[in-house]
Amino acid sequence: MNAIKTIAIAGAGTMGSGIAQVTASAGFNTILFDINEVMLQKAQVSIQNSLDFLCNKGKITAQEQGETLARITYIHQIAELKADLIIEAIIENLEIKHQFFQQVAEINGKDCILASNTSSIPITQIAAKVPNPERFLGIHFFNPAPIMKLVEIISGVQTNPNIANTCKELIASMGKTCVMAKDAPGFIVNRVARHFYVEGLKVLEEQVADFETIDALLESSGFKMGPFKLMDLIGVDTNFSVTSSMYKLFHQDGKFRPSRIQQQLVDAGQHGKKTKKGFYAY
């Protein structure tokens, strides 16, 4: 763990920028990479706003805020993506992930640890085309990364157990609660939680109740958020993508069937809070 000084995050979307905030706040030199410079600019504003909020609430000092911001470097050239640990948080597409990791493997030495923040693509599948796959694993944060405590550490078939344990200690040092998981569809959390969304959507499809009522009933029974509010927060498109992936990985098992209602929202570009409209309007 002591050898890891610089951590790079690939992908400046909601997850990537959130993870960058976590690693920088924990004292690590952090590189946030995205080929899209506009995304990098948005990420910089997002991180600034998030830290402003924490500072105004008294959760961190102004000095801590400044030090955290100073630790983050924003880059859009992949040739500059050099670190001790690289965590990928790009699009959920196996071919694109393969291309990305093959590129960074050429730029970095064989001791560079490579990790994916994927929600559903098997770690072993991604590692299959990565040089030295024993240094590859899953480090799965949950959205919003600065707030959510849980992180899954997923070992593929070829992952070196020592590297997995090193990453567990590293992430735990950032104040996170880590669980070790084997490489199975959805890992632990997404497999268990999938039916929270899927069954809620089935109740809506069957017109048993509207989505506001379903959310209200679950929140009254102790859940912090109902499934529809949570899908809007995570991203309706992201949630749908994970469900579709798991449906395929479980060989079209009906209990993982994606919802046509969710598909319609995705097609309409209504992806939740990030687009100002999903199941709810924002």
pLDDT in tens, 165-205: 999 999 999 999 999 999 998 999 999 999 999 999 999 99
The reply to whether 189-275 shares the fold of 6-182 is: no
Strand, coil or helix: what is 178?
Answer: strand
pLDDT band at 2 (very low <50, low <70, confident <90, very high): low
Instruction: Look at residue 264 in the predicted model and tell me its pLDDT.
Output: 97
6-182: which CATH number, 3.40.50.720, 1.10.287.1080, 3.20.20.70, 1.20.1290.10? 3.40.50.720
pLDDT digits (tens, 9 = 90+) for 43-77: 999 999 999 999 999 999 999 999 999 999 999 99
Where in the chain are the domains?
Answer: 6-182, 189-275
Q: Are 156 and 133 in contact (CB under 8 A)?
A: yes
CATH topology of domain 189-275: N-(1-d-carboxylethyl)-l-norvaline Dehydrogenase; domain 2 (1.10.1040)
pLDDT band at 3 (very low <50, low <70, confident <90, very high): confident
pTM score > 0.95 for this model?
no
Neighbours of 138 (CB within 10 A): 29
Q: What is the mean pLDDT of residues 92-110?
A: 96
pLDDT band at 1 (very low <50, low <70, confident <90, very high): very low
Active-site annotation, residues: 119, 140, 152, 190
Q: Residue 202, exposed/middle/buried by CB under 10 A (0-12, 13-18, 19+)?
A: middle
